[in-house]
Amino acid sequence: MSNESLFERAQKVIPGGVNSPVRAFRAVGGTPRFISRAHGPYIFDAEGKRYVDYIGSWGPMILGHGHPAVLEAVQKAAVDGFSFGAPTEREIELAEEILKLVPSMDMVRLVSSGTEAAMSALRLARGATGRNKIVKFEGCYHGHADSLLVKAGSGLATFGNPTSAGVPAEVVQHTLVLEYNNLDQLEEAFKLHAKDTACVVIEPIAGNMNFVRAALPFMKRLRELCTQHGSLLVFDEVMTGFRVGLRSAQGLYAKDLPGFEPDMSVFGKVIGGGMPLAAFGAKRAVMEKLAPLGPVYQAGTLSGNPVATACGLATLREIQKPGFFEALSERTRSLVSGLLGAAKEAGVPMVGDSEGGMFGFFFADTLAQNYGQVMATDKERFNRFFHGMLDAGVYFAPALYEAGFVSSAHTADDIAATVESARNVLR
């Protein structure tokens, strides 16, 4: 089998040959790699070629692939049963573990995907506040629910327009899209729409326009405005949760803004350890508005299934071991600094940033602060770099709009080999 033959076969039975669009390599060109197996920091394609994996299933594989403790937990759970459609003790254990690490929440509801968690959180925010409008930011991705597939209107007095066919304009009429890190727009939006705004949803470190942080003054003012006007601040930590630090991104902001916390949080990826699992949570008064206690309906047959909870619980316990995040952060920083150093040697403008096990880089002179600036970076140079690195056995995200991920399984030798490959490609 070859990647090409598999892609040809896939395109006959799956739209675009893939089950999630970014996998199609449309942004970078070429043929997707069909992965047959993985181990530690490596993935292997259908042709047997090995790649150093900096996608990590888009974030969940913080321990690398096939971690012994996780495998053992999953195998034992699978023997006991895949799914029961009834409560299990492990659901409670996972919820307790998450809540122990995220003090902004009193209760969580487990679901099966980040899209499902974000969609449910926004419905709950509307139900809890009795308001309809939501505010999001351009370049932040919160799943493919209809009300979130939206681009900015012509001004702050006009709400968004659908970015996908099949989404009626009426569905997104209550969604306002602002520029990330733009304080003036934020102030104006609340001046115009505060009394109708149920929530503001944000990726505190955006991972779907590469790696872009919400600036501290911006986040501080966002928290103040939400508090002042009774709108709920929703942190989408599907990517950043337990990936940028043990207390997630909200823990990082709390260090600089004493007492800071969001009103609601959405988690995925790491809490499932690679299995389909996500969650959303808030204080008890908000969460008790969910069915069966309250009027906001949400349900799911596979929510909190026993195999996924076993995988997630084992992962969360491993990342709490002493020194885990210190070592992971250092390894990630060494990768980014190595890439930037190689670019500087080659006379190629490149900037980058990282936090915990999450990183990003741009072919530009300054770090992007919003989606418009990301779009202005050198896309063609990124595409050439991507393919050069892929040929060298290094698998970065196949689009400049995606963040990258390092696992605890990546060794110093893996990082050094990656940097050396980058040095050759950048030349």
Residues designated as active site? 141, 236, 269
Q: Which residues touch 245 (CB under 8 Å, ≥6 apart)?
A: 251, 252, 325, 355, 356
Look at residue 107 and give its three-state secondary structure: strand
In this structure, the number of other CB atoms found within 10 A of the CB of residue 69 comes to 12
Q: What is the CA radius of gyration of the chain?
A: 21
Residue given tokens 């490149």 in the structure block: 350
Match 């999630």 to its residue by tokens: 20
Main-chain dihedrals φ then ψ at residue 187, nearest 5 degrees: -60, -45
Distance of CA 15 to the CA centre of its chain: 24
d(CA 360, CA 16): 27
Please, which residues bridge with residue 178 across strands? 137
Strand order in the sheet with 175-178: 107-111, 278-282, 264-267, 232-237, 197-202, 133-137, 175-178
Q: Which residues pair with residue 52 across a beta bridge?
A: 42, 394
The label of the residue with tokens 């206690």 reads 293
Angle, helix 306-319 to helix 89-101, in steps of 10 degrees: 30
Distances (CA, A) of 218 to 160, 261, 419: 22, 14, 34
351 and 360 in contact (C-beta within 8 Å)?
no
Q: How many helices (H) and strands (E) does the chain have?
A: 13, 18
* Cα distance between residue 205 and residue 144, in whole Å: 19
Report in angstroms the alpha-carbon separations of 65 from 56, 193, 383: 8, 46, 26
Cα–Cα distance, 78 to 200 (Å, whole number): 39
Secondary element (H or E) of residue 317: helix 306-319
Rounded to whole angstroms, how far apart are CA atoms 136 and 282? 19
